[in-house]
C-alpha cells in the first residue's frame, strides 16, 4: 500500500501560528565598504509556507485530508500564504486581521549558507482570536486529529480552551510547544518538545535515568497521554503509560534543521489519524525528520521518501 493510500483516511486540523518563509539566494564576491559585512547580489527568490502552514503542507503531501486555522494580515504576504495553500490542496480558514502584519521570516543565503534571518512579526488582536474559537468549534467535526503548532506568535492564546473542547469531542490532540509554561497544554494527547524546549521547562539532566524521571514527571503533571522528545542526533524518545520507546536517529548528513519539527508532528499526526500505533507513528516521524534535515530551508516530506513497506 502506498503512503498516500495509507494516510488518505487521516483527517487532520492544524491550528497555530501561520507564517511565510522567504528565501533570497545570491552570490558574495566582496565585503561592504560601509561595514565589515558581505555584499549579497540576489539572483533568486523563493517563498514557502512556514509555521503551522508548513505542518499542514507536510501532512497534505503525505495524502491526509487537511484543514488549517490561523491568522494572517490583510497584506501581500498574507495573500501569498493563501495562494500557496490553495496550490497545495490545504483547506484554509485564515482570519484576516487588518491591524496585524503577516509573520514573515526572510532568510538571505549565499553558497548554501544562511547569512542572516530577518523576522517581521506582531501579535494578532484579541478580538480576532476570540472569533477563532467559534470557527474551531465548527471545524472539529471534520477531523479526527488536531495539531496545535505553537511558535509563540500569539495565534494560540486560547490553546487551553481549544484542547479542552477537542478532548470533549473525542479528538486526538498533538502539541508542538513553545515557551516555559506548559500548563496551557494540559490534557493534550501528545506533546512534542525538542531537547532545548524540554530543558527550558524541566532543566538539564546528566543521565538517561534523570531524563526519564523528568519526562514522566512532566507528563503526569500535565495529564498528557504521551510525551515525544525529539533529540536531534540522539533520535526520539517516547514516554507514555507503557514506559519508554526510543528510536535512534537516521544516519544522515544534517544540512538544515529549519522546519524539521513541523515535518515530525505532521507525520505523527498522519500515522495516528490513519490508525497506526503511536510507536509505529513515531518510527515514521523519525524517518521523516531524518529526511528533511538533509534539505535546504523549510522543506516538505514526500510520500516516496518514507518508503513504507
> Which residues are the active-site residues?
262
Residue 140: partners with Cβ closer than 8 Å, 6 or more residues away: 13, 146, 165, 166, 169, 171
Tallying the residues shown for the chain, one arrives at 309
Give the three cell numbers for residue 223: 495529564
Q: Is the Cα dihedral 160, 124, 119, 14 positive or negative?
A: positive
Give the three cell numbers for residue 304: 516516496
Quick count: other Cβ atoms within 10 Å of Cβ 240? 19
> Which pairing describes strands 172-176 and 190-191: parallel, antiparallel, or unpaired?
parallel
Q: 78 near 98, Cβ under 8 Å?
A: no
Residue 36: partners with Cβ closer than 8 Å, 6 or more residues away: none
Cα 101 from Cα 35, distance rounded (Å): 30
- Candidates 122, 117, 121, 54; CA nearest to 90 is 54
Residue 208: partners with Cβ closer than 8 Å, 6 or more residues away: none
Amino acid at each position: 500500500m502506498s503512503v498516500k493510500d495509507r494516510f488518505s483516511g487521516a483527517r487532520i486540523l492544524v491550528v497555530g501560528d501561520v507564517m511565510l518563509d522567504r528565501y533570497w539566494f545570491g552570490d558574495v564576491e566582496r565585503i561592504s565598504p560601509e561595514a565589515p559585512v558581505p555584499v549579497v547580489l540576489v539572483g533568486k527568490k523563493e517563498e514557502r509556507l512556514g509555521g503551522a502552514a508548513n505542518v499542514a503542507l507536510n501532512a497534505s503531501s503525505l495524502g491526509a485530508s487537511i484543514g488549517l486555522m490561523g491568522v494572517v494580515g490583510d497584506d501581500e504576504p498574507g495573500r501569498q500564504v493563501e495562494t500557496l495553500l490553495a496550490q497545495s490542496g490545504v483547506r484554509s480558514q485564515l482570519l484576516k486581521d487588518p491591524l496585524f502584519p503577516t509573520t514573515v521570516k526572510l532568510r538571505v543565503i549565499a553558497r548554501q549558507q544562511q547569512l542572516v534571518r530577518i523576522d517581521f512579526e506582531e501579535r494578532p488582536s484579541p478580538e480576532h482570536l476570540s472569533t477563532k474559537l467559534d470557527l474551531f468549534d465548527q471545524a472539529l467535526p471534520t477531523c479526527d486529529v488536531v495539531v496545535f503548532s505553537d511558535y509563540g506568535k500569539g495565534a494560540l492564546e486560547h490553546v487551553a480552551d481549544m484542547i479542552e473542547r477537542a478532548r470533549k469531542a473525542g479528538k486526538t490532540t498533538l502539541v508542538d510547544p513553545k515557551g516555559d509554561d506548559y500548563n496551557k497544554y494540559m490534557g493534550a494527547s501528545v506533546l512534542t518538545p525538542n531537547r532545548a524546549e524540554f530543558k527550558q521547562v524541566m532543566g538539564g539532566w546528566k543521565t538517561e535515568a534523570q531524563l526519564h524521571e523528568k519526562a514522566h514527571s512532566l507528563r503526569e503533571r500535565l495529564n498528557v497521554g504521551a510525551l515525544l522528545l525529539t533529540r536531534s542526533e540522539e533520535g526520539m524518545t517516547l514516554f507514555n503509560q507503557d514506559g519508554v520507546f526510543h528510536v535512534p536517529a537516521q544516519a544522515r548528513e544534517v544540512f538544515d534543521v529549519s522546519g524539521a519539527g513541523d515535518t515530525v508532528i505532521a507525520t505523527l499526526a498522519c500515522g495516528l489519524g490513519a490508525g497506526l500505533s503511536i510507536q509505529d507513528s513515531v518510527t515514521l516521524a523519525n524517518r521523516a525528520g531524518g529526511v528533511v534535515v538533509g534539505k535546504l530551508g523549510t522543506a516538505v516530506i514526500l510520500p516516496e521518501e518514507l518508503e513504507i513497506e
